[in-house]
Structure 1
Amino acid sequence: MTKIWQGISEFAAVADTGSFTEAARYLDISVAQVSRNISELEARLDIKLLYRSTRRVSLTEEGTLYLQHCRNLVSSLDEANRSITNLKATPRGLIKITAPVYYGEYHLAPLLNQFLVEYPEVELDLQLTNTKLDLIQGSFDLAVRLGQLESSSLIARRLSSRTQHIVAAPDYLAQHGTPQTPAELSQHQCLLGSVDGWRILNEQGKPFLFRPQGRLRCNSGPTLLDAALRGLGLAQLPDYYVKQAVADKKLTMVLEGSRMPDDGIWAVYPQNRHLSAKVRHLVEFLVKRL
Structure 2
Amino acid sequence: MMIWDGVSEFVAVAETESFTKAGQRLLLSTAQISRQISRLEQRLDTQLFYRTTRRVSLTEEGAIYYRHCRQVLNGLEDAERALSSLKHSPQGLIKLTAPVAYGEKYILPLVNDFLLRYPNVEVNIQLTNTQINLIEEGMDLAIRIGKLADSSFIAKRISQRTNYVCASPAYLTQYGQPHTLSELSNHNCLIGNHDYWRFIENKQIRHIKVNGNLRCNTGHGLRDAAIKGLGIAQLPNYYIEHDIATGDLVPILSQYQEPLEGVWAMYPENRHLSPKVKTLIGFLAEQLP
- TM-score when normalising by structure 2: 0.69
Return the offset for 1:196: 4.1
Distance in 1 between residues matched to 2:195 and 2:281, nearest whole Å: 31
AA at the equivalent of 2:167: A
- The question of 1:236 aligning with 2:237 is answered no
SS of the counterpart of 1:272?
Answer: coil
- The code of the aligned residue for 2:148 comes to L
SS of equivalent residue, structure 2 residue 110: helix
Are 2:195 and 2:211, in contact at CA under 8 Å, matched by a contact in 1? Answer: no
Q: Equivalents in 2 of 1:239, 1:157: separation in Å?
A: 21
Aligned to 1:155: 154
| AA matched with 1:192 | I
Deviation at 1:189, TM superposition (A): 0.9
Structure 2 spans left out of the alignment, 5+ residues: 1-77
Separation in structure 1 between the aligned mates of residue 151 and residue 242 of structure 2, nearest angstrom: 35
How far has the Cα of 1:211 moved from its partner? 1.9
2:86 alignment partner, SS class: helix
Q: 1:263 aligns with which of 252, 261, 264?
A: 261
* Secondary structure in structure 1 of the residue aligned to 2:165: strand
Shift of residue 137, structure 1, vs aligned partner: 1.3
Q: Alpha-carbon deviation of 1:170?
A: 1.0
Is it true that 1:201 corresponds to 2:200 in the alignment?
A: yes
Q: Give the AA of the match of 1:258.
A: Y
Equivalent residue, structure 2, for 1:31:
none
- Indicate if the aligned counterparts of 1:167 and 1:253 stay in contact, CA closer than 8 A: yes
Change in Cα spacing, 1:164 to 1:86, as seen in structure 2 (3 Å) is farther
User: Secondary structure, in 3 states, of the residue corresponding to 2:206?
Assistant: strand
Aligned counterparts, 1:55-94, within 5 A: 85-94=84-93
Ranges of 4+ aligned residues in structure 1 off by more than 3 Å: 79-86
Tell me the alpha carbon deviations over residues 123-167 of structure 1, each in whole angstroms, 9 at most, x when there is no partner: 110111111111111111111111221221111111111111100
- Residue equivalent to 1:175: 174
Query: Do residues 272 (structure 1) and 270 (structure 2) align?
Result: yes
Distance verdict in 2 for CA 1:86–1:214, change over 3 Å: farther
Tell me the residue number matched to 1:188: 187
| Structure 1 unaligned residues grouped into runs of 5+ | 1-78
Shift of 1:80: 12
Of the structure 1 ranges 157-166 and 205-214, higher mean CA displacement relative to structure 2 is found in: 205-214
Q: Which residue of 1 aligns with 2:287?
A: 289
**1:196-222, CA deviations, whole angstroms, 9 ceiling, x for partnerless residues?**
4211023x3421111221111111111
TM-score using structure 1 length:
0.69
User: 1-side partners of 2:117 and 2:248: how far apart?
Assistant: 39
How big is each residue's C-alpha offset from its partner over 1:87-142, in whole Å with a ceiling of 9 and x where there is no partner? 32322111111111111112111110111111121111011111111111111111
Equivalent-residue separation in structure 2 for 1:278 and 1:258 (angstroms):
41
Cα distance in 1 for residues equivalent to 2:238 and 2:258? 16
User: Is the CA contact (8 Å cut-off) linking 1:86 and 1:275 kept in structure 2?
Assistant: no
Q: 1:285 to 1:179 in 2, by over 3 A?
A: same
Q: Which protein shows a greater Rg?
A: 1
Q: What is the 5 A alignment of 1:214-225?
A: 214-225=212-223
Aligned counterpart, 2:249: 251
The answer (yes or no) to whether the contact 2:200–2:259 under 8 Å persists in 1 is no
Would you say the 8 A contact 1:205–1:258 is kept in 2? no
CA distance in 1, matches of 2:80, 2:139: 24
Paired-residue identity, %: 49
Where 1:87 maps in the other structure, the secondary structure is coil
Mapped contact 1:167–1:235 kept (Cα < 8 A): yes
